[in-house]
Structure 1
């Protein structure tokens, strides 16, 4: 987890998370209405059975008119039961859909408020599972559990009370059958929690292996024809099958026997045998016996809903816990209204900034101090892992520094609102991302009010207009998932067009020509030149020739700022930058057939 003031830290145990019903508070009224209708439906069902018994009694007494009245009442109760069940179904499903929408909206809003470092730490896969799978699991619980509660609790209690009123001996006999079945089932499921955890773990490993196997298919076919990855998938399947087999063996005869006992027929058979004897002995009215026979199966039929509810409760607990964890993620603090700081210009300054990604990790940046004056170009260079990208990501508060300050226009970024901060800085990162929407919509991201003329002007300045017009639908062409319908260079130019349209005074670039081939590099360079005009630019560079003319070059090594200056001065200084430049020149002189150039130690 990430502390919004001091950066990432190890998560501490928090308070006990609310239960299933607490998270359903926004739709609790609808759920209660659904339960009430389900209870009403169950009572109508029992009333139907009672009127059927009275119908038989009236027919045996030769009271045809009364029998017809009881039959009509039974029909109306049946209709009422059907309408009540339908109403309960509608209420529970409407509540489930509403809760699903509220939870997903709330989760999205929470993720928009937390640090982007938290999002990167949790990972897209884990957060996707929470927003999609866990919310869906809660939807299923709300939609299906509401009617079950009436069938699982109200029906058996009312039925038992009626059986006691009709004949306490038959009522206790029916209860004894259910008690026997439940006792055996409880014993059979004595290790259910342990086995359920093993089952869920094995199933998740299978799911992970399937995703890995499918997503890595190009690499799999290239390197091992699928043998290694498929072997992991097969082992996950074998482990899953072993867990299922073990669970089945351990449950064994006891579980199957309990389900036989808990079925309606054993209860009916006991009541039929015992009631028949009492009727034969003249100790029980046949009509009461008939009423008991009609009602007694209501208790047995409640067992299955009880077991389903238990299973659904156990299954949804993990989903609720994960949803609560995301909803409890710490948000980045913002200043109180009227107390926010506002930048005075487009300068960027780091003052003694130290940052680490985790409590047990080494510093990614150590005591970094530099200033990028307004309207200048500052390049960040150094070996891989030196801290260049970390500097770029501290400017928009992906994380907050552990110590020191990051200033924009003299204002601490922690004292600015997110809207103010984002209104100052535009980004073009190496890892571009496009939504599965039209090209025009992707360019408008962050500037939804922009006209089509503005979009075309930005695309033209980004050297993207020509290739966009060659697409099947021009600016209305879908970019595909993550921009999959476009090449890397095309995606990069769309991102540059987006930044041009936003027209923010500070620009952060992370190797914007990374995907450029020789044909497209000139177009990207021209687009960047248009984008950088008049702005404060911080450029994370890996291709040293692209930053020769920078106003200042910052050289990082192992999280420390070791050198700074202009290109010629740094080369003449003989330090790390000079060695990096020497390595670059040696690489340029290499050609196919020659031995690889020996790298000059950095």
Structure 2
């Protein structure tokens, strides 16, 4: 087995057993046909004596063939189910250790396709193809050996038909590898266009009424149709001709004609002829599955390649023994970082030599223009990426010297992208603490200003929130994520634009919930809403990835720097209002 198939190693023995059982099933099936030929010969010689022994053996052989074939498919399907579970489990565990940057570079859609479609394609290959492959290889070879043993002249006629059919089949499959690649690429473009069109439906309807996006889908579909047409023109006639030649009828006609001529010459007895007819008619047809197997193998190889590509994503190095932080203080020491281009090469730096200290129990606000690097800093603390230079310490310990469990036990998060699982409200709040009691869940929801709206839901805390929490509003989702963070009760809190998408009513509730959540914790707050940071213990101002100002609100306003400019823009925005245009009368007066 080549290296590309090493992915099947966990179930290799079970696959081999399935193939052995399938091959043995083919042998017993051929034995049943040979015995039926013997039965016919004995009946011709002694029409009044029923050949019980041969009939019994033929029945036993047929039953054994059917049972072995069923067992082979059972084994291959069990192996496929095991492999599917193993691959998805291993992939999930691997991705949990991969840098978030590499995952984002790979793309959520591509990862989803690999975990669903490609592993499913491999399941189909293992479950259905491996027994068929063994049978397609064993049946023609064993049939040929038996035919040669019975009568080499009739065997030669059957082989001639088989070689003709295989030759035509080879002609039909020429350049099939290249066409298969073009076909798969076109099919994936169609799938991507469909997903884009469906997911972007609100935007599509708003901006282009579907013309631009639908045209991309239409172009992908036309390209797909063109490739299919080319493939059909290239392989259509040879394929149909091969189907005709490899059908049992041409072989049967050859064996009937050749056997009749040999019988007329007196060099062939009827028993042998009957056995050859029963066995040889299906020899050519038994190689037909190889054509469909060729396409299944090609598709499986593509799936294996993509699965191995995901499993080759580099994981973040994790220490064997974790060091425990002595406090909730956060220190950035000369941190530089650049979002790398997949998989490992680093791009332009987005943070340059950033150094600051956040004391335990204090609030540190990160402000600056969009793209300044604020959210990147927030995501470096839970080690979504590793820094390129410098280090990040929590309680005096480099976060790279902590295990994931130790690090996550220190930090809770509330991001602007509030993500909820398609589960109940209670279970979403319990995320991270699945053993929490219902009383603890309700207490966290009350502190997050979420209890009242949860009670108004159809089933209260048992209400299903839908995919990504789509059945409740954005502000409600955010309060549930705050309740989740309160329940986790971790000493460090990272808030990245937690009120970005809230309306005024929800924002007031969110701010009250956040004030409870922030109490007594070391807080890193990323926000564009300056009203929420005036009382921060320190404000760090970033511009183009550099820490350019630091201090408290009043001091920074008086420095006439970037913060002062941002604050003035904030005040102007607060005082902005629509002005009525003066109404001009016909005589020129207002």
Q: The TM-score by the shorter chain falls in which range?
A: over 0.9
5 Å-filtered alignment, 1:114-263, equals: 114-263=98-247
Conserved 8 A contact 1:58-1:64: no
Aligned-partner Cα distance in 1 for 2:110–2:447: 38
Aligned-partner Cα distance in 1 for 2:346–2:11: 42
Aligned-partner Cα distance in 2 for 1:507–1:143: 48
Aligned-partner Cα distance in 2 for 1:589–1:476: 43
- Which residue of structure 2 lines up, in the alignment, with residue 503 of structure 1? 489
- Which residue of structure 1 lines up, in the alignment, with residue 78 of structure 2? 94
Conserved 8 A contact 1:137-1:316: yes
1:396 aligns with 2:396: no
Per-residue Cα deviation, 1:373-404 (whole angstroms, up to 9, x for no partner): 11100000011110000000110110000010
1:542 aligns with 2:524: no
Q: 3-state SS of the aligned residue for 2:382?
A: coil
1:454 aligns with 2:440: yes
Aligned-partner Cα distance in 1 for 2:73–2:323: 53
Deviation at 1:298, TM superposition (A): 3.1
Aligned-partner Cα distance in 1 for 2:37–2:125: 36
Per-residue Cα deviation, 1:229-282 (whole angstroms, up to 9, x for no partner): 221211111111111111111224333222221222212211221221111111
- Which residue of structure 2 lines up, in the alignment, with residue 417 of structure 1? 403
- Which residue of structure 1 lines up, in the alignment, with residue 325 of structure 2? 343
How many pairs are equivalent?
577
Aligned-partner Cα distance in 2 for 1:148–1:315: 16
Deviation at 1:222, TM superposition (A): 2.0
Q: 3-state SS of the aligned residue for 2:550?
A: strand
- Which residue of structure 2 lines up, in the alignment, with residue 471 of structure 1? 457
Per-residue Cα deviation, 1:376-434 (whole angstroms, up to 9, x for no partner): 00000011110000000110110000010011111000011111100000000000100
Per-residue Cα deviation, 1:308-348 (whole angstroms, up to 9, x for no partner): 221111110011111112222222112223xx322111000
Q: Which moved more, 1:202-211 or 1:559-568?
A: 202-211
Deviation at 1:71, TM superposition (A): 1.9
Where structure 1 has 5 or more consecutive residues not aligned to the other structure, the ranges are 1-15, 596-602
Q: 3-state SS of the aligned residue for 1:353?
A: strand
Deviation at 1:517, TM superposition (A): 1.2
- Which residue of structure 2 lines up, in the alignment, with residue 531 of structure 1? 517
Aligned-partner Cα distance in 2 for 1:374–1:487: 34
Q: Which moved more, 1:210-219 or 1:381-390?
A: 210-219
1:371 aligns with 2:348: no
Aligned-partner Cα distance in 2 for 1:592–1:175: 89
Q: 3-state SS of the aligned residue for 1:370?
A: strand
Q: 3-state SS of the aligned residue for 1:329?
A: coil
**TM-score (norm. length: structure 1):** 0.93
Deviation at 1:590, TM superposition (A): 1.6
Deviation at 1:36, TM superposition (A): 2.2
Per-residue Cα deviation, 1:490-523 (whole angstroms, up to 9, x for no partner): 0000000000001000000001111221112111
Per-residue Cα deviation, 1:21-55 (whole angstroms, up to 9, x for no partner): x2122222222222222122211211111111111
Q: 3-state SS of the aligned residue for 2:542?
A: strand
- Which residue of structure 2 lines up, in the alignment, with residue 113 of structure 1? 97
Conserved 8 A contact 1:346-1:409: yes
Identify if the C-alpha distance between structure 1 residues 523 and 403 changes in structure 2 by more than 3 Å, giving closer, same or farther.
Answer: same
Q: Which moved more, 1:259-268 or 1:456-465?
A: 259-268
Q: 3-state SS of the aligned residue for 2:547?
A: strand
**TM-score (norm. length: structure 2):** 0.95
Task: Provide the aligned C-alpha RMSD in A.
Answer: 1.6
Q: 3-state SS of the aligned residue for 2:3?
A: coil
Q: Which moved more, 1:551-560 or 1:110-119?
A: 110-119
Aligned-partner Cα distance in 2 for 1:194–1:146: 24
Aligned-partner Cα distance in 2 for 1:428–1:302: 62
Conserved 8 A contact 1:458-1:500: yes
Q: 3-state SS of the aligned residue for 2:568?
A: helix
Deviation at 1:75, TM superposition (A): 1.9
Conserved 8 A contact 1:40-1:84: yes
5 Å-filtered alignment, 1:289-304, equals: 289-304=273-288
- Which residue of structure 1 lines up, in the alignment, with residue 498 of structure 2? 512
Aligned-partner Cα distance in 2 for 1:118–1:362: 16
Q: 3-state SS of the aligned residue for 1:35?
A: helix
1:74 aligns with 2:58: yes
5 Å-filtered alignment, 1:36-51, equals: 36-51=20-35
- Which residue of structure 1 lines up, in the alignment, with residue 338 of structure 2? 356
Where structure 2 has 5 or more consecutive residues not aligned to the other structure, the ranges are 582-590
- Which residue of structure 2 lines up, in the alignment, with residue 11 of structure 1? none
